Amino acid sequence: RFTFFPELNRKGTTVFFSSSDLYVTLAFPSPSQHGLVSQSLQLFHACLTFDFIGTTAGTGSFLGDDSSNGLDDLVVIQIPTSWRSIFLDTDTVPLFFRLYRGLPPELSTLVLSCLVQLASVRRSLFTNPERTTFLSDLVNGTRNILAAQSSTLADQNIYHEFCRLLSRLKCNFQLTELAALDCYVEFIQLLTAFTIHTLKSFHKESSHNNSLHYLLALWQRLVASVPYVQSPDSDLMEDAASQISRAYIEACLASVTDYVNCPTRVRVTSAKQRTSHSSRNLWPFASGEDTKTTEPVNGSSEDDDDVECPLDDMTTLLQQLEQFAIIGRCKYAKTCALLIQLFDEAAGSYEKALTMVTQGSSVDGNLLQVIRLDEHRLAWLVYMVVVSTTQMQMMTVMVNSYVLQLVRLTTNRLNMTSTSQLNRDISTPSVISQLNHSPGASRLEMATLSFFEQFRRMYVGESVGRMSRVYQRLSEVLGISDDLTVLGVFANKIVTNIKYWSSNEPILNRTLNLLSELSRGYTAMRKLIRLDDIQFVLTNHNEEHFPFLATKVGTSSLSPARQAAEFRLRTSFYASLARLLMVDLGENEDRFLKFMAPLTRSTNRLIIAVLSGGNRFTCRCKLRLLLICPQHSELGTKH
């Protein structure tokens, strides 16, 4: 491999050098005429992607191909030192850019794939001056493609490979090396315009969806390096990152209309699928085979199977938002001001529409559509607030106060619509279901729970007393003056969710996880136990108040995995309650009996149901079975 491969590589590049001018002038009317060029490119690509040091861990003999381990962004080509002469040739990189300009799209894609591998060659192969020359050739070539705005970029595969090439420029090179190039300023300006164009069109052009990951990854790495680089052009990078943050926010909100009515499916995407450079569209309409999908909830129709909401693909969503959080560090005050403005507009529209629905005798379909759109926009904005909470503290507190106001609004929505249903203020019961259990409402709820999880990590805990400035701002806006009041907001949210979202497993699961985390801190537990909502749960944990505790008919017909998931929810719930009960129970027998009262009543009803049918021996067997296997408790009502 150290002698044979270089010779093969030289033969391939010799073909390019000797005939590159001829290739540029040929028309290539049919794929059958690609012949020698295509095979030479494949040979060169295969030589560069060979796994020289055995890092594929049994998944294949090549790096950066479809059989790789999925860490596409981290691949470094470990070229042997004996190959140096090929890469030190100053015409090697320009040759491939000439081929890109002259060859048809079918071959241009492969040319860009070769350039991606060239950009991934290990740094230690070059001396510092040699590396600067090599990088200059790569950046000049990509700059020329960006400046030309070639129609070839309209091809999906070419566009995607070009984005991969851009991403590799920062994977394998440092920002100081990029900033030292003469074309750096022009390159950043062209790259900014290119990225903004992609963000504005990604929800319209399916060819851009899978490529967005690489562009955001590039900007994330560039921005993360800014604090460590002393350059007179540092303002250029900050301005560019600020523009991209704004474009990303606006693009996410603009894409809402494409999936506002699609059913809810919470999905987890594998790392391999996220980073694969295949043509599958992963964002924002991800649909892959390596995903975990929940069934459509609350009777959502299957008519929108071809369109999926990016808010449901949690793994890809969080990855994109983490990239956005790094990019948004530049001129964060400006980004935060935009978030506040958009949040204020969407929340105002949402509150107004909800008021009209709950107070009106009839409901306009257009009004419900406005609510759905606002719910999705608010979900996006809440997620962006969540990933931005590690920035400037006081700006963050301002944004957090808006989210907490939204939490009050959504909680009141559940209570108001339920009250309206009881009072028959709304004409049709289906409107209640559309309001409380729509896909938009559940996605907004998932975003809100993410906010609570992040807020708990930052402001609720053993060191919460040091956050006096945070509570000062929250007190001015919401009347939240200390950590006990904050815990009251948490407790109210938890009780509301387990009461009204009992049929939505993802929301219920995250809510119970939040309760579990709060019940693990000694300081938080001692304060939680003083809250009326927690006391209510400790004495009224039954199916009447919390429907998810009720035994569902036909539970035994569910798959073992689904049964286990439902039972884990109850286990988590009662484990949290037990911790809260025991924190200062002591020998207070009355408190313990009050806690056990709902369980005692359920057990008594079960015993009566079992003993009411059949002989005594059969009843004892049934009772023993029910105590051991509560999932079969419906047997007691069948006899």
Domains of the chain: which residue ranges?
1-173, 177-330, 603-637
Residue 624 confidence (pLDDT): 56
Residue 554 confidence (pLDDT): 55
CB 288 within 8 A of CB 269: yes
pLDDT over 60 (residue 466) = no
Locate 514 and state its tokens: 């939040």
pLDDT over 90 (residue 458) = no
pLDDT over 90 (residue 349) = yes
End-to-end Cα spacing for the chain: 76
Band the pLDDT of 60: cuts 50, 70, 90: very low
CB 306 within 8 A of CB 286: no
Q: What is the mean pLDDT of residues 98-108?
A: 86
pLDDT over 60 (residue 342) = yes
> Minimal CA–CA distance to 244: which of 336, 335, 339?
335
Which amino acid does the sequence have at 483? D
Strand blocks (E) in 22-146: none
Residue 298 confidence (pLDDT): 45
Whole-number Å distance between alpha carbons of 294 and 507:
12
Please provide residue 519's backbone torsions phi and psi, each rounded to the nearest 5 degrees. -85, 5
263-291 b/e with 16+ CB inside 10 Å = b? bbbbbebeebbbbbbeeebbbbbbbbeeb
CB 410 within 8 A of CB 446: no
> Minimal CA–CA distance to 169: which of 153, 148, 150, 145?
145
Band the pLDDT of 149: cuts 50, 70, 90: confident
Q: What is the mean pLDDT of residues 303-329?
A: 82
Locate 528 and state its tokens: 């939680």
Could you give the percent of the chain with pLDDT greater than 70? Answer: 72
Q: What length does the chain have? A: 639
Chain mean pLDDT for the chain: 78
Range among 94-108, 186-200, 550-564 with highest mean pLDDT value: 186-200
**pLDDT (tens digit per residue) in 6-53:** 555 555 555 554 444 545 555 555 565 567 778 888 888 888 888 777
Give the number of other CB atoms < 10 A from CB of residue 459: 19
Locate 629 and state its tokens: 């296997």
CB 443 within 8 A of CB 375: yes
